[in-house]
């Protein structure tokens, strides 16, 4: 084993042990804390680490310098929670009188429903789901009441409206939160796209808000969709999405009938393969316990043998952060391949080619991919 | 043991070795690794008083600076900065290495230190009490700060007013003070003893040169200070000196809206800033002549001591 590979293994093992058995953290040597902080930050799981330790009452047993970073992450996470629940409050105010079901998705939904998945979870924007028929009314009401469209190119606008599952992001003119309004869970062009109507039938109310959240099964399946079908070129897949999946399954697993209904619901929505992968990797990496009957039922969605072998190799390589000082080409390749796979599933080949050619052309023309951070952005982040 | 105590050869060798160097700068430990010989020389000269944090197992920030990119070695060479193996900024021309490193440090601190309240302000201290000089772009905070620390004030920090939520103490972070454009000559003639590094031309902020923090400020960087005065400085060409009391409510708003992370700490920062403004006398200062401004601040703070 090369030095790089050894360091990668060490970093990944530290993070997984921290996620699986936080009670072991107080005994961690300070040099391991140094590395754990770095990999947890990279995967945006620092806030979660803090939340786990807080539950155990073990924050005092952490080296002081490490505890500072955990506190810093907690403050940032709490601030995002406050900002985005307030943004939701304002959106609901703006939509008063409009007879439309409004479903909160992902982070904000976990906060609203007071789920363990919310604790320490960092989230960047507000995601909502409304029926497609009501999108226009919702959008124009928000535009009337202070939200604006972010300036995007006509190509991107068209990309959203024709192919995607959400409209271009909106932002209130006095606040900096992005809101993404979805009318389905997956892009229309996706191979897994399905009619979102059944989702609305099973939404649940939450205490103290007009917004609703997805039913338990659908919430899990949506987290899986996010994990497996929305790639990121640098990260490949996001470990925090897998953590969401495991958290939700652990929590809802105690509800009577949850496990029995999971596989049929995945079948109904055509999300069997993502469920298979989600269960497989949440067990392998995060030690999630899944009833045998569920595993057996989900096993019929296993991919062809060769694809399965490949995914078993690629996914851990891509989803685990590795050592920040020892990046490996293999991990970078795995991340790129999974990103390419997500795109491959996301749109049919002819559309993918068209999209990539256009994006490539933008790059050739020198449209900046990134902007220089000014002090304003610094303050924001 | 400080960087300078290593001697140049050993210091540059350790800075450029793969294992790098751990340095204590104020409350933070930076792990620094430089693949950039010119920068190592400047770090040796301008950061010379920072102690090595030997035996610090947990480091706050891991920073690497390199001008070693193979494709760009001969054609328009660049310097890049990496924080935990990722680069927060696009590269800069290779000869802007020191501004790049300093901005990298700012970025790390501003992004990751939300366990503290971070005011955007210069802070100087005398007899345990500090003047806090909140920053507004172009108002000449850095120039005034550089002048004060060469007039018997101790430098706490030029950019970050770090406030510890537990007790409201101001934490020193004695870093280089970046002077811009005309300010460089102003400080050279005001304080001939100031140690000023080379000028960097054509950065996004114009010409920049850095003032080295006085050795004493670095040696005393673990001594916190209590807030004494808020002074909102503004340099106006040809203006007579005006040092006027300010409404506390106004000072509160200006401090809060100008902090790096006031919102992030929520109620904690509301209470902290409130307590600070209550405890401090608040003034606005308009000046054109540094000597006059320093005299006025001396006067102001001396009367308070009596």
Domain boundary among B112, B127, B147: B112
Say yes or no to pLDDT of B21 above 90. Answer: yes
Say yes or no to pLDDT of A151 above 90. Answer: no
pLDDT at B305: 53
Q: Both tokens of residue A107?
A: 């982070």
Residues of B in contact with A375 (CB under 8 A): 120, 137
Tens-digit pLDDT profile for residues A287-309: 999 999 999 999 999 999 999 99
Q: Are residues B166 and B59 in the same domain?
A: no
Q: Both tokens of residue A86?
A: 């307030």
Q: Are residues B58 and B100 in the same domain?
A: yes
**Nearest residue on chain B to A379, alpha-carbon basis:** B260
Q: Which structural domain, as residue segments, surrounds residue B38?
A: 3-112
For range B179-208, the mean pLDDT: 94
* Pairing status of strand B129-134 against strand B170-171: unpaired
Q: Both tokens of residue A243?
A: 């953590």
For range B149-168, the mean pLDDT: 96
pLDDT at A350: 72
Sign of CA dihedral A42, A43, A48, A49: negative
Query: Distance (Å, rounded) from C-alpha B235 to C-alpha B138?
Result: 8
Query: Distance (Å, rounded) from C-alpha B205 to C-alpha A283?
Result: 52
Q: Both tokens of residue A215?
A: 């039913």
Nearest CA of chain A to the CA of B85: how many Å?
5
Q: Both tokens of residue A129?
A: 């789901």
Residues of A in contact with B263 (CB under 8 A): 79, 83
**Hey, are the CB atoms on B90 and A69 less than 8 Å from each other?**
no
Q: How many helices (H) and strands (E) does chain A have?
A: 17, 7
Residues of A in contact with B57 (CB under 8 A): 29-31, 33-34, 63
Q: Both tokens of residue B35?
A: 């693949």
Average pLDDT, chain A: 89
Domain boundary among B91, B112, B133: B112
> Among partner residues A75, A78, A372, which is closest to B115 by beta-carbon distance?
A75
Residues of B in contact with A73 (CB under 8 A): 114
Taking one residue from A and the other from B, the number of pairs with CB-CB distance under 8 angstroms is: 78
Say yes or no to pLDDT of B119 above 90. Answer: yes
Judge whether B252 and B277 are in contact, CB under 8 Å: yes
- Percentage of the residues of chain A whose pLDDT score is greater than 90: 69
**Hey, are the CB atoms on A75 and B59 less than 8 Å from each other?**
no
Listed residue (B212, B86, B92, B67) closest to A234, CA to CA? B86
Task: Let me know if A296 is exposed, middle or buried by CB neighbors in 10 A (0-12, 13-18, 19+).
Answer: exposed
Q: Are residues B231 and B209 in the same domain?
A: yes
Look at A377 and B295; give whichever has higher pLDDT: B295
Q: Which residue has the tokens 């990046």?
A: A327
**Confidence grade of residue A188 (pLDDT, cut at 50, 70, 90):** confident
Is A34 touching B (CB cutoff 8 A)?
A: yes
Tens-digit pLDDT profile for residues A18-29: 999 999 998 899
Is A291 touching B (CB cutoff 8 A)?
A: no
Residues 6+ apart with CB under 8 A from A208: none
pLDDT at A377: 40
Q: Are residues B78 and B104 in the same domain?
A: yes
Q: Which of residues 70-99 of A touch B (CB under 8 A)?
A: 71-73, 75-76, 78-79, 82-83
Q: Are residues B189 and B248 in the same domain?
A: yes
**Confidence grade of residue B73 (pLDDT, cut at 50, 70, 90):** low
Average pLDDT, chain B: 93
Say yes or no to pLDDT of B130 above 60. Answer: yes
| Long-range contact pairs involving B247-253 (C-beta distance under 8 Å, separation at least 24) | B247/B282, B248/B277, B248/B278, B248/B282, B250/B282, B251/B277, B251/B280, B251/B282, B252/B277
**Nearest residue on chain B to A65, alpha-carbon basis:** B58
- Percentage of the residues of chain A whose pLDDT score is greater than 70: 93
Nearest CA of chain A to the CA of B306: how many Å?
39
Residues of A in contact with B60 (CB under 8 A): 65, 68-69
Measure Cα distances from A58 to A28, A63, A67, B188, B271 in Å: 12, 11, 10, 52, 27
Query: Max alpha carbon distance in chain A (Å)?
Result: 64
pLDDT at A374: 41
Judge whether A126 and A88 are in contact, CB under 8 Å: yes
Tens-digit pLDDT profile for residues B100-112: 999 999 999 999 9
Query: Distance (Å, rounded) from C-alpha A257 to C-alpha A308?
Result: 29
Residues of A in contact with B204 (CB under 8 A): 372
pLDDT at B70: 63
For range A30-52, the mean pLDDT: 96
Least confident interval from A202-206, A278-282, B201-205, B271-275 = B201-205
- Percentage of the residues of chain B whose pLDDT score is greater than 70: 97
Nearest CA of chain A to the CA of B129: how many Å?
26
Say yes or no to pLDDT of B74 above 80. Answer: no
Listed residue (B202, B209, B141) closest to B176, CA to CA? B209
> Among partner residues B88, B112, B137, which is closest to A72 by beta-carbon distance?
B112
Q: Are residues B50 and B173 in the same domain?
A: no
**Confidence grade of residue A233 (pLDDT, cut at 50, 70, 90):** low
For range A44-52, the mean pLDDT: 96
For range A180-206, the mean pLDDT: 90
Say yes or no to pLDDT of A216 above 80. Answer: yes
Listed residue (A314, A329, A327, A337) closest to A8, CA to CA? A327
Q: Are residues B78 and B139 in the same domain?
A: no
> Among partner residues A65, A66, A379, which is closest to B260 by beta-carbon distance?
A379
- Compute CA A97 distance to the chain's CA centroid, rounded to the nearest angstrom: 31
Say yes or no to pLDDT of A380 above 60. Answer: no
pLDDT at A379: 41
Q: Are residues B93 and B121 in the same domain?
A: no
Q: CB-hemisphere CA count at 13 Å for B300?
A: 23
Q: Which of B115, B256, B259 to mutate to test the interface with A (most CBs of A within 10 A)?
A: B115
**Hey, are the CB atoms on A373 and B88 less than 8 Å from each other?**
yes
**Strands across the sheet with B61-66, in order?**
B21-25, B28-35, B61-66, B78-83, B92-93
**Hey, are the CB atoms on A34 and B86 less than 8 Å from each other?**
no
Residues of A in contact with B260 (CB under 8 A): 378-379
Listed residue (B77, B135, B117) closest to B274, CA to CA? B117
pLDDT at A381: 33
Query: Distance (Å, rounded) from C-alpha A97 to C-alpha A117?
Result: 32
Judge whether A283 and A312 are in contact, CB under 8 Å: no
Nearest CA of chain B to the CA of A356: how many Å?
23
Measure Cα distances from A195 to A183, A212, A245 in Å: 10, 19, 22
Say yes or no to pLDDT of B134 above 50. Answer: yes
Say yes or no to pLDDT of A14 above 90. Answer: yes
Q: Are residues B179 and B93 in the same domain?
A: no
Judge whether B89 and B103 are in contact, CB under 8 Å: yes
Q: Are residues B228 and B247 in the same domain?
A: yes
**Hey, are the CB atoms on B204 and A372 less than 8 Å from each other?**
yes
pLDDT at A5: 87
Say yes or no to pLDDT of A167 above 90. Answer: no
Q: Which of A60, A76, A370 to mutate to test the interface with B (most CBs of B within 10 A)?
A: A76
**Hey, are the CB atoms on B62 and A325 less than 8 Å from each other?**
yes
Q: Are residues B285 and B197 in the same domain?
A: yes
Tens-digit pLDDT profile for residues A63-113: 999 999 999 999 999 999 999 999 999 999 999 999 999 999 999 999 999
Q: Are residues B40 and B148 in the same domain?
A: no
Say yes or no to pLDDT of B86 above 70. Answer: yes
Tens-digit pLDDT profile for residues A322-339: 999 988 888 888 888 888
Say yes or no to pLDDT of B98 above 50. Answer: yes
* Pairing status of strand B226-235 against strand B206-211: unpaired
Judge whether B229 and B300 are in contact, CB under 8 Å: yes
For range B23-52, the mean pLDDT: 95
Measure Cα distances from B95 to B37, B39, B66, B76 in Å: 11, 9, 12, 10
Domain boundary among B85, B112, B139: B112
Query: Helix or strand or coil: residue A77?
Result: helix
Tens-digit pLDDT profile for residues B244-266: 999 999 999 999 999 999 999 99
**Confidence grade of residue B304 (pLDDT, cut at 50, 70, 90):** low
> Among partner residues A37, A82, A325, which is closest to B85 by beta-carbon distance?
A325
Q: Which residue has the tokens 């193979």?
A: B70
pLDDT at A378: 40
**Hey, are the CB atoms on B29 and A65 less than 8 Å from each other?**
yes
Listed residue (B147, B148, B142, B146) closest to B301, CA to CA? B148
* Pairing status of strand B21-25 against strand B61-66: unpaired
**Hey, are the CB atoms on B111 and A75 less than 8 Å from each other?**
no
Say yes or no to pLDDT of A195 above 80. Answer: yes
Residues of B in contact with A42 (CB under 8 A): 84, 86
How many domains would you assign to chain B?
2
């Amino acid at each position: 084993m090369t030095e790089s590979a050894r360091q990668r293994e060490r970093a990944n093992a530290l993070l997984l042990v921290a996620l699986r058995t936080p009670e072991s953290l107080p005994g961690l040597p300070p040099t391991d804390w140094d590395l754990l902080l770095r990999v947890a930050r990279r995967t945006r799981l620092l806030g979660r680490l803090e939340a786990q330790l807080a539950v155990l009452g073990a924050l005092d047993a952490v080296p002081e310098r490490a505890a500072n970073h955990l506190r810093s992450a907690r403050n940032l996470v709490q601030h995002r929670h406050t900002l985005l629940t307030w943004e939701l409050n304002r959106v609901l105010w703006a939509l008063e009188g409009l007879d439309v079901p409004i479903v909160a998705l992902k982070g904000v939904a976990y906060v609203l429903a007071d789920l363990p998945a919310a604790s320490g979870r960092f989230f960047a924007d507000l995601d909502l789901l409304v029926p497609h028929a009501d999108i226009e009314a919702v959008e124009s009401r928000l535009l009337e009441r202070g939200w604006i469209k972010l300036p995007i190119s006509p190509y991107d606008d068209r990309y959203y409206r024709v192919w995607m599952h959400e409209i271009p992001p909106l932002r209130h003119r006095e606040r900096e939160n992005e809101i993404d309004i979805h009318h389905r869970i997956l892009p229309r062009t996706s191979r897994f796209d399905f009619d979102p109507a059944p989702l609305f039938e099973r939404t649940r109310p939450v205490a103290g808000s007009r917004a609703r959240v997805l039913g338990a099964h659908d919430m899990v399946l949506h987290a899986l969709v996010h994990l497996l079908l929305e790639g990121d070129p640098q990260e490949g897949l996001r470990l925090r999405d897998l953590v969401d999946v495991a958290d939700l399954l652990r929590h809802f697993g105690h509800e009577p009938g949850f496990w029995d209904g999971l596989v049929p619901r995945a079948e109904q929505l055509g999300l069997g393969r993502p469920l298979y992968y989600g269960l497989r990797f949440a067990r392998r990496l995060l030690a999630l316990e899944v009833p045998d009957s569920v595993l057996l039922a989900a096993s019929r969605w296993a991919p062809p043998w060769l694809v399965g072998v490949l995914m078993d190799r690629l996914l851990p390589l891509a989803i685990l952060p590795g050592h920040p000082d020892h990046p490996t080409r293999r991990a970078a390749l795995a991340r790129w391949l999974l990103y390419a796979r997500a795109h491959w599933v996301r749109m049919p080949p002819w559309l993918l080619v068209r999209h990539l050619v256009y994006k490539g052309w933008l790059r050739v023309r020198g449209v900046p991919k990134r902007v220089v951070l000014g002090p304003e952005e610094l303050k924001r982040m | 043991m400080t960087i300078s105590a290593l001697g140049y050869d050993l210091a540059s060798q350790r800075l450029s070795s793969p294992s790098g160097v751990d340095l204590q700068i104020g409350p933070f430990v930076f792990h620094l690794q430089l693949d950039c010989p010119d920068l190592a020389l400047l770090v040796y000269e301008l950061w010379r008083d920072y102690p090595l944090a030997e035996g610090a197992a947990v480091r706050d920030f891991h920073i690497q600076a390199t001008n070693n990119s193979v494709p760009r070695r001969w054609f328009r060479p660049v310097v890049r900065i990496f924080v935990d193996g990722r680069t927060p900024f696009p590269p800069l021309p290779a000869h802007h290495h020191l501004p790049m490193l300093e901005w990298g440090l700012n970025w790390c601190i501003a992004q990751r230190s939300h366990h503290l309240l971070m005011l955007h302000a210069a802070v100087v201290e005398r007899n345990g009490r500090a003047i806090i000089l909140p920053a507004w772009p172009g108002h000449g905070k850095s120039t005034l700060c550089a002048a004060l620390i060469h007039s018997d004030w101790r430098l706490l920090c030029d950019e970050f007013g770090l406030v510890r939520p537990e007790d409201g103490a101001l934490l020193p972070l004695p870093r280089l003070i970046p002077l811009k454009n005309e300010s460089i000559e102003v400080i050279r003639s005001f304080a001939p003893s100031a140690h000023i590094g080379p000028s960097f031309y054509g950065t996004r902020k114009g010409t920049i040169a850095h003032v080295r923090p006085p050795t004493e400020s670095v040696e005393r960087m673990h001594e916190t200070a209590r807030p004494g005065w808020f002074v909102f400085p503004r340099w106006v060409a040809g203006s007579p000196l005006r040092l006027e009391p300010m409404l506390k409510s106004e000072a509160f708003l200006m401090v809060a809206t100008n902090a790096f992370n006031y919102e992030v700490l929520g109620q904690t920062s509301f209470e902290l800033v409130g307590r600070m403004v209550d405890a401090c006398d608040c003034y606005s200062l308009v000046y054109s002549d540094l000597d006059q401004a320093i005299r006025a601040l001396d006067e102001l703070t001396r009367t308070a001591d009596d």
